[in-house]
Chain A
Amino acid sequence: MEYGLLVMGAPYTSAAPHSALRFAKAVISRGHQVAGVFFYQEGIHNASCLMTPPQDELNMRDAWIALHHEHGVMLDVCIAAALRRGVMSEAEAKRHGQAHSNLDAPFELTGLGQLLTLQQRCDRLITFA
């Protein structure tokens, strides 16, 4: 079965991203696919490349990137939700006259249409909020 995940909780604030990551690994280990993760609302903070937790804590962004590299899981971030909360790529930072950026590949800024497409493409869309 092909799954899509919708993550709406911030790391270190909500258990949602941790649960989503464990869910992704569990279904993959049982032979299913995870097509993509869509980060929305507070979930966009998972994409910040400036997150620097203490060394004895999981770096959530690195964990998502490992999932992407090992299993080809797409990491899409809602652009409107991210910009509103100060998370943006270098291109968006330039466009909005900001001096700094804090989002880069393999995370991709996309529109909400991508979330609708993910749900339509997958057998199941699971929300973690």
Chain B
Amino acid sequence: MSHEHERLVIIRHAPYSSNALREGLDVALVAAAFGQTVSLLFLGQGVLALLKEQAAGAPGQKATLPTIDMLEMYDIDQLLVPQSALDALNLQAAQLVDGATVVADDTLPELVQRHSYVMNF
């Protein structure tokens, strides 16, 4: 598939603080179900969605980790995290789910430019 059909979904919200993360992931899943190639970029608090040790939220809040684990089934295997986002939260790559890839900050402009469709949640 050519790059022109590739979609980048940027996640900037932490789990449980709002519904923004879940509804952002829903857009990624629908795009993938429609056969589009989808990459996810986690910025700021969004990185917290990838912590593998995370528990479910408050009673009644649906856990987000199962949705993160499900992404691979939809062929969404690019879960990108810039090094600076990890540093800002004092996290190590080993604390993230296996599918996460840490990328150098200077690759971000090219990453965004390469995708014709970019969305921010």
B-contacting residues of A (Cβ < 8 Å)?
A: 6, 8, 40-41, 80-81, 84, 111-113, 115-116, 119-120, 125, 127, 129
- What total of A-B pairs shows CB separation below 8 Å? 31
Complex partner residue of A116 from B23, B31, B120, CB under 8 angstroms = B31
Chain A residue contacts of B68, Cβ below 8 A: none
Q: Judge whether A129 and B34 touch: CB under 8 Å.
A: no
A-contacting residues of B (Cβ < 8 Å)?
A: 7, 19-20, 23, 26-27, 30-31, 34, 36, 117, 119-120
Chain A residue contacts of B117, Cβ below 8 A: 116, 119-120, 125
Q: Judge whether A115 and B27 touch: CB under 8 Å.
A: yes
Chain B residue contacts of A6, Cβ below 8 A: 119
Q: Judge whether B20 and A41 touch: CB under 8 Å.
A: yes
Q: Judge whether B120 and A129 touch: CB under 8 Å.
A: yes
Q: Judge whether A112 and B26 touch: CB under 8 Å.
A: yes
Chain A residue contacts of B119, Cβ below 8 A: 6, 119, 125, 127
Q: Judge whether A41 and B30 touch: CB under 8 Å.
A: no
Q: Which residue of A lies closest to B12 (CB)?
A: A129
